[in-house]
Structure 1
Amino acid sequence: MLDDEGTTQTPERTYAPEGGARKARKRRSPLGVIVVLTVIVLVCAGLYVGVSKGVDWVQDQFGAADDFSGPGTGEVIFEVREGDTAAAIGRSLKEAGVVASVEAFISVATADSRSSKIQVGYYPLRKEMSAAEALEVLVDPSKQVKNLVTVPEGLRVVDIVDVLVEKTDFKRGQYEAALKDPAALGLPDYANGNPEGYLFPATYDIGPKDKPKDILAKMVARWRQAADEVQLESRAAALGYTPAELMTVASLVEAEGRGDDMGKIATVIYNRIENPGAGTGGKLQIDATVNYALGRTGTIAVTTEETRTEHPYNTYVVQGLPPGPIEAPGEEAMAAAGNPVDGPWIYYVTVDLKTGETKFTDSYDEFLGFKAEYKSYCTTSDAC
């Protein structure tokens, strides 16, 4: 073929398209149109959901949060736990049905400086309260639900259970059942499952949700705290005793001593154990152990006949320490047991039961003089 200028031109070939930029046009089938439309619909739906959630998030952050109005109804005992933040409290309130939204509580808490001083404990709230009403209760410590129970030093387990039965709604059998599970109470291995001496004397806030096991576990946990503070384990090792033995010494010190005399009482106990040839032949001869063996509580004078009672806790009969504590020592007695005062004393006599005046000596003759002084005191006092 010639072009306009008379030159020869090679004819163009037409090829069937095999991909790339140039493709043959095909007539789209109805099915294809439906698929495309379906995809478009799904994409649009996804965009709608995403935008809706985004709008909700923005509203939660910057808009007015859902909130109830008024003081609410019913009753909810709400617990603020150690370490709870305002957000954590808000979530718990929402889960309990107290507030309508976490954001509402965070909003009022952030605006009120008192919220930084919310105390751990239980509070009486209501269902469907306004966030502001709920906060007013939580920032007022006087609104806490409290049942304070004081357990004094020197009580035995049976006495402690008496106190708890009187001050709580649980029965003796429930406490006794809980005491049979030492692992649940958190007793140390060296207690050998015996809680005697390990229910720490202190004042406890018994929560409305606490069960006997929880109450007793709190007491053991408080003992653990005191044991750590007085370095019970390390002091026992330094003195050449086991932690269990040191706890036993502490219970004897609690039974026999007061104030500054506690360290001296501990010294007498160690001197009698470690110097069996001095005076008492290695026997502690402590009246409180006789009363424990006889199942008696309180300061009760023992007779000569009673000191002969065959019992592993009677230190007039057995040498050395009894098998375990005879009562619950306080932190002062535990500290004294781990830090005895340096001295030669073998004997002591409390010559005045009202003031607790106690005299110490390493002389048997002087000891007899102290005993005579005590007897003279008893003839003129109703304290004996």
Structure 2
Amino acid sequence: MYGDGGWGRQAQAGPQSPYGGQPQHHPQAPQHGDWSQEQQPGYGGQQHQYPDYQDGAGRPEYDQGFAHQTQQQFHQGGWDATGTHGHVPYAADPGDPYGQQPVAYGAEQPDFYPTEDAYPPPEPPGRRQPEPEPEPEAAGEEEHAFFAGGGGEDDEEEHELQSRRERRGKKPVKSKKRRTGCACMVVVLVFGGGLGGVGYFGYKFYQTRFGAAPDYAGSGNGQHVTVTINKGDGGWAIGQKLKDAGVVESAAAFVSALQANPEGKSLQDGVYTLEKEMSAASAVELMLSPKSRSNLIIAEGRRNAEIYGLIDKRLEVPAGTTARVAKKDYKHLGLPAWALNHPNLKDPLEGFLYPSSYGVTKGQKPEAVLRTMVAQATAKYQELGLEKKAEALGLDGPWQLLTVASLVQAEGTSHDDFRKMAEVVYNRLKPGNPQTAGRLEFDSTYNYVKNQSKLDLSIAELRRYNNSYNTYYSKGLPPGPIDNPGEEALRGALNPTDDGWYYFISMDGKTSRFTKTLEDHNKLVAEWNASRKKN
């Protein structure tokens, strides 16, 4: 109710003054700092009478003389020795029926209540809180409805709001542009066009994501095509290959058919013979059948000479074709740099035809098959870290580490043997080896040179054969790998045991027994010979 400008509220408009035209009393303001409990502003001192001025509509009018008089009284009261500045009287709040009595800023305030006890007296000027700025009108009050054309009561209300702001000395608010029928039509067209575009793209998205994927009908057109599925290919990658080959119409259709087939998860890599323009379901069914594929399986520990023969048979080429290609083109088949330029090798590709399943079928080139196997081996060796770990094992690079793994694979009879077998190799390679005088003495190395697999070999025969691969004759490792080791043998070579093993013997051909001294080893040999005589 109180502020620097007094009661800035207007009375309701009417033909009569809200106080019946009786003069209102207003006390003279006391001197600054002269406040007391006995005499408070607004309740004592000289009274002034002010007449009611009304216009023709019964609304009080602002009187310049009245404003001048009140300003003089303000100076005489001594509230502000530095002078005052006049303000345009604030317009009344439209909701306050008592606020239409115009009073200048800083002037004496009239008492609008019948008695002095009706309302507490105002605070002294030093204690008064500044009157808060009038709250801005709600945006909704000055806006027309979306499709309204303006006019009528809304125009009068807007005009009244602008008048009030002008009477308060504030800049009038620019009225918002009325939305004409034409503007509304533009909005409708734009909005409708946007909905149409969203609908179109939404339909395309639904068709792509949830609609039926394009698919052929039937089991093919009779035109055969070969498709190679690599190890690790997922459903979408396989479907894309089939689509590119013309087998299925879309990869999405193949993925759906593969997921719908209960045996879909058993689909393996390999070379598949299919037909063009097959339905996705029939393509999946044929790929799950042995009729469509027959992979070449390379077992752990196989030598290259044997693998070359298997490739020749699968490709239906003359015997020896793949071996000749390997000997001639081995440098161009993808070997890593550390696998090249080693002297006295029987086969530079030995150890790089990695044991796995390969799709090999008639019509392929030997070079392509060999390149795939070399790439598989190179990737596995890199994955296991042969280059990084060789030096820590006392070896001269990954080539020697691969050679150790091939020996472990050849001599080990079970996966549990591999780590112990690797320790036997490393212990016998140590300088000053007290047990075997620096020789490995592995029968497998002699058999590799002879391209055989014999068990009953005499020590005299073994020691007489002069060949760098024969570890009974030559000290240290052979020039290179003697077979193609599998992952378990490779891991055994990378992580050997540390129990002091120097000797081993297989008693039943399935497992090996390890000893630390030659004396213990000879006892096992005698036991094995005795068991052979009984059988």
What is the aligned partner in structure 1 of residue 479 from structure 2? 323
2:156 matches 1:156: no
- Which of 336, 339, 359 is 1:205 aligned to? 359
Q: Is the 8 Å Cα contact of residues 115 and 135 (structure 1) preserved in structure 2?
A: no
Q: Deviations over 1:333-382 (max 9, x none)?
A: 111111110122222222x1333232322x2222221221222222234x
Is 1:254 aligned with 2:409?
Answer: yes
Contact 1:146 1:206 in 2 (8 A): no
Secondary structure of 1:177's counterpart equals helix
Residue 73 and residue 237 in structure 1: after superposition, are their counterparts in 2 closer, same or farther (change >3 A)? Answer: same
Q: Are 2:288 and 1:142 equivalent residues in the alignment?
A: yes
C-alpha distance in structure 1 between counterparts of 2:441 and 2:251, whole Å:
64
2:444 aligned with 1:288, yes or no? yes
Count of aligned residue pairs for this structure pair? 308
In 2, distance between residues paired with 1:251 and 1:86?
34
Name the CA shift for 1:136/1:284 in 2 (closer, same or farther; >3 Å). same
The one of 152, 171, 194 equivalent to 2:318 is 171
Matches within 5 A, 1:72-151: 73-79=221-227, 82=233, 88=240, 92-93=244-245, 96=246, 105=250, 114=259, 122-126=271-275, 129=277, 133-140=278-285, 141-143=287-289, 145-151=292-298
Contact 2:406 2:481 in 1 (8 A): yes
Q: 1:243: Cα distance to partner?
A: 0.5
Contact 1:315 1:322 in 2 (8 A): yes
- Aligned mates of 1:365, 1:192 — CA distance in 2: 42
Q: Does structure 2 retain, via aligned residues, the 8 Å contact 1:123–1:138?
A: no
CA contact (8 A) 2:298 2:357 kept: yes
Question: What is residue 231 of structure 1 aligned with on the other side?
Answer: 385
Give the aligned residue type for 2:225: I
How far apart are 1:154 and its partner, in Å?
A: 2.0
Residue pair 1:291, 1:300 contacting (<8 A) in 2 also: no
| CA 364–286 in structure 1, closer or farther in 2 if over 3 Å, else same | same
| Residue identity in the other structure for 1:162 | G
Label 1:150 to 1:113 Cα distance change in 2 as closer, same or farther (>3 A). closer
Q: Post-superposition shift, 1:71?
A: 4.9
**Cα separation, 2, equivalents of 1:365 and 1:113:** 62
3-state SS in 2 of match to 1:201: coil
Normalised TM-score (structure 1): 0.68
The residue matched to 1:359 in structure 2 has which SS?
Answer: strand
1:186 is paired with a residue of what secondary structure? coil
2:305 aligned partner, one-letter code: V
For 1:284 and 1:71, the matched residues in 2 are separated by 60
**Percent identical:** 31
2:512 is the counterpart of 1:357: yes
Task: Name whichever of 277-286 and 205-214 sits farther off.
Answer: 205-214
| Segment drifting more, 172-181 vs 320-329 | 172-181
Where does structure 1 lack aligned partners over 5 or more consecutive residues?
1-57
Q: Give the secondary-structure state (helix, strand or coil) at the position aligned to 2:390.
A: helix
CA distance in 1, matches of 2:253, 2:318: 43
Shift in Å, 1:270: 0.8
Larger Rg over CA atoms:
2
Alignment match, 1:216: 370
Spell out the pairing of 1:63-74 with structure 2 (5 A cutoff).
Answer: 71=219, 73-74=221-222
Q: For the residues of structure 2 that align with 1:313 and 1:329, how far apart are their CA atoms? A: 17
Note if 1:306 corresponds to 2:462.
yes
User: Greater RCO between the two (CA within 8 Å, min separation 6)?
Assistant: 1
Kept in 2, the 8 Å contact 1:196–1:328? The answer is: yes
Tell me, which stretches of 5 or more residues in structure 2 are unaligned? Answer: 1-203, 342-347
1:179-210 CA-to-partner distances (Å, cap 9, x unmatched) read: 13124432222322701122122232325553
